[in-house]
């Protein structure tokens, strides 16, 4: 098929939907499109999410905290169907004005605290419970280095490589090549780091690993974009070792199932309100 060269107009206008299969969730304005309150369960923490890589980060951390005996980490996980516009409800926008999952509401104190952006949620919970974030300045800083590396890098993997390789309505060689190169560079960054360290921040499993694994760990395990062969993921042996080790953690196995509505039925737990929901 011959592709014509797009000439941008002097002033862009939103004249038609764009974004391929995600076109219904993309718009050039913020704010609520309809009034609807968010449900509230019985636990201190209320999570509104979906089992995308960003959502899985938070449910993995919550399950890890519960595994360590932190009863205060009990949570209700409510499903936000982004394909149906749940993220544009007035209730959700009140918790996250950016209308993106995940969003957390901590109701354990006198005044509820809203936490949005997955990295912010991980840091908030790690500090709240004193887990998965080293106390020494060097260890803490190295953990945050890799946490923020993920926050800055993943848009190139998801909105760049993933979108043009897996979701765009047309295949564009330039875009796929551009973002494939960057995805492989990022995997090489991780591979070189993990060649020298068991985990990203050193010898200790931290929120850095919890943030990076749902994107890059699942990418090399062929569970994100179905692109492991295309990316020659087998070449990143240290990332593979790290990814498979984390995948065997029981809390990770539980967390990745929460708010999932696709795949094998046994892996789907659309909502989680008690530990038995994951039995």
pLDDT in tens, 243-260: 999 999 999 999 999 999
In whole angstroms, give the CA distance from residue 236 to residue 183.
12
pLDDT of residue 26: 83
pLDDT of residue 5: 84
In whole angstroms, give the CA distance from residue 272 to residue 76.
6
For residue 18, count other CB atoms closer than 10 A to its CB. Answer: 11
pLDDT of residue 27: 86
59: confidence class by pLDDT, cuts 50, 70, 90: very high
Rounded to two decimals, what is the model's pTM? 0.95
Helix, strand and coil percent figures for the chain, each rounded to 5 = 50, 10, 40
Mean per-residue pLDDT, 23-48: 93
């Amino acid at each position: 098929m011959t592709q014509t060269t797009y000439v941008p107009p002097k002033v862009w206008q939103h004249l038609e939907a764009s974004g391929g299969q995600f076109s219904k969730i993309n718009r050039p304005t913020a704010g609520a499109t309809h009034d609807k309150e968010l449900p509230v369960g019985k636990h201190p923490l209320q999570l509104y999410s979906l089992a995308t890589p960003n959502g899985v980060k938070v449910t993995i951390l919550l399950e890890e905290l519960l595994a360590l005996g932190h009863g205060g980490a009990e949570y209700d996980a409510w499903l936000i169907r982004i394909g149906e516009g749940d993220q544009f409800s007035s209730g959700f926008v009140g918790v996250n004005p950016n209308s993106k999952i995940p969003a957390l509401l901590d109701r354990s104190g006198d005044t509820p605290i809203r936490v949005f952006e997955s990295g912010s949620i991980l840091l908030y919970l790690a500090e709240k419970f004193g887990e998965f974030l080293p106390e020494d300045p060097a260890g803490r800083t190295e953990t945050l280095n890799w946490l923020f590396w993920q926050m800055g890098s993943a848009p190139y993997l998801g909105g760049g490589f993933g979108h043009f390789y897996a979701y765009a309505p047309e295949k564009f060689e330039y875009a796929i090549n551009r973002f494939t190169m960057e995805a492989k560079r990022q995997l090489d960054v991780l591979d070189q780091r993990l060649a020298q360290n068991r985990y990203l921040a050193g010898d200790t499993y931290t929120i850095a690993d919890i943030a990076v694994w749902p994107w890059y760990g699942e990418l090399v395990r062929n569970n994100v974009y179905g692109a492991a062969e295309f990316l020659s993921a087998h070449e990143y042996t240290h990332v593979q070792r790290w990814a498979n080790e984390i995948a065997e953690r029981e809390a990770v196995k539980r967390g990745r199932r929460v708010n999932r509505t696709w795949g094998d039925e046994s892996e789907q737990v659309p909502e989680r309100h008690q530990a038995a929901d994951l039995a």
